[in-house]
Amino acid sequence: MKAYQMLGRAYEHLGQHREAEICFKTAIRIGRCVFDPTAVDLFNSLAEVYQSLGNHKEAKRNHEGALDIAKLLYGEKHFQVAKSYNGLAFVYERLGQPKKALEYFREALHLTQQVCGENHPETAGSYNNLALAYVNLNSGKKAEESFLRAINLQNSIFGENHPATATSYQNLAEVYRDFGNYEEAIQLFEKAIKIIETFYGKKHFQAAASYTGLGITYNKLGKYEEAEKCHQTALEIIKPIKGEIHQETAAVYNNLGLVNRNLRKFKVAKDFHTRALKIEESLYEGAHPRTACSFTNLALVYQDLGDHDKGLSFATKSLEMRKAIYGEEHKDTANAYNNLARGYEVVGKFSEMIENYTKALNIYKRVHGEKHPDTALVYYNLGSGQLMFGKNEEAKESLTKAYTNQKEILGNDHHDTFESGQALSMVNMLCELPDGQRRIFQQEVLKLFNQQRFTRK
């Protein structure tokens, strides 16, 4: 049983999830006749494989199995019970139930504090997980507090220059980036890279993760050449370690595709996204979130290349795949409706555009509520689409909601707030012009407006 467990972990590290699944299942089957504590680890490991494969319902079932066995073997207060709570929390996040995830992460932290004490690496890890849950609930301040608590614990346990501390810096950097604090994010990513390269050397996969985060930040700042360099560095680290046919290699190809799209190198972007999709289709059978994301990326780049039929085809595939994985009431399904609406906008199908933006908006309202960046973004896209079709008053209403929400949630200095404010100013100007002047200026305003359009990936 132990040999199959070790072999399964080796396959999982290599990204060969189907082989890992077979090994863990074999180990479980062998161990069922033996009262063996390793069964908890086996069920949790199998659940993590299912997570990687995008089968979140099976992941949930196996984490629940691990939790039941852990409670039977050890009672309610044991580290293995906390580990299973953490596993279930991550599953609920992927299933689009962030409040349920937060509940399990809190339970895991409370139990870890009881079992391990406050000044312990596992407790620091639990603070990290709790912070990630707050990020998904758009509670940036609480996320920051939890990440800083994790960093303080790790500094006291390991010292500042330790990979665990670097991971927390990286996580906190992502929070700062998502809330528009780009300079703070860059400083923390660079700090994480320095620690990892000092500890492991320049060619370690953890450094690649920080270079990826730094590249995404530069991309959001519009510093596309710097972003491309970061993603190229990440690829040079990951590819020799993980190989070509690995999900992390595919992820870097997608990031390079996104940057090249922003550099208006659309054919280069298409090639990177196509390579990513080819890897993902070889790794995953059927519907998978990563494959759906590559479909979306290809949909957008085909629109840029003027091949609107292919763009709509890929956007539709992404939507159908996300619905198969998550169902209708999930933020990723809403993202897919949003991107499909953009495709219909480009080909001039107003009613289909409105229908899909409205579906995205309604899902976001039910999942996140009215006051959320995702909801505001769809208001922005809806308003911009209405403007494209000359529906200036309707556009004004939608863009006002986007700007008001973003100003309240993200603050005046966030780039999304700035862009919505600019768009709203343009629309207000158009609405105030007499009919004759409005027709003259409408096309010029649309050209300016299209230069700043953004679409959720």
* H helix and E strand count, the chain: 22, 0
Q: What is the mean pLDDT of residues 337-360?
A: 94
d(CA 23, CA 1): 9
Task: Express each pLDDT in 206-226 by its tens digit.
Answer: 999 999 999 999 998 889 999
d(CA 174, CA 50): 26
d(CA 234, CA 455): 25
For residue 110, pLDDT over 90 is answered with yes
Q: Rg for the chain (alpha carbons), in Å?
A: 23
d(CA 285, CA 297): 20
pLDDT at position 449 is 62
d(CA 305, CA 194): 39
Task: Express each pLDDT in 232-249 by its tens digit.
Answer: 999 999 999 989 999 899
pLDDT at position 326 is 85
Side-chain half-sphere exposure of 3, counting CA atoms within 13 A: 1
Q: What is the mean pLDDT of residues 338-367?
A: 94
In whole angstroms, what separates CA 24 from the centre of its chain? 28
d(CA 86, CA 432): 55
For residue 341, pLDDT over 90 is answered with yes
DSSP string for residues in 163-176: HHHHHHHHHHHHHH
For residue 299, pLDDT over 90 is answered with yes
Q: What percentage of residues in the chain have a pLDDT greater than 70? A: 87
CATH topology of domain 160-281: 1.25.40
Q: Which CATH class is domain 1-158?
A: mainly alpha
pLDDT at position 457 is 40
Give start and end residues of each alpha helix (H) in 159-223. Answer: 163-178, 182-200, 205-220
d(CA 232, CA 208): 10
Task: Express each pLDDT in 426-455 by its tens digit.
Answer: 888 888 877 766 666 766 666 666 655 544
* Ranges for all domains in the chain classified under CATH 1.25.40.10: 1-158, 160-281
Task: Express each pLDDT in 28-55 by its tens digit.
Answer: 554 554 446 777 888 888 888 887 777 8
pLDDT at position 93 is 86
pLDDT at position 33 is 40
For residue 418, pLDDT over 90 is answered with no
Please give the mean pLDDT across all residues of the chain.
86
Q: pLDDT band for position 367 (50/70/90)?
A: confident
Instruction: Take residue 303 and report the two structure tokens written for it.
Output: 């629109």
d(CA 323, CA 327): 4
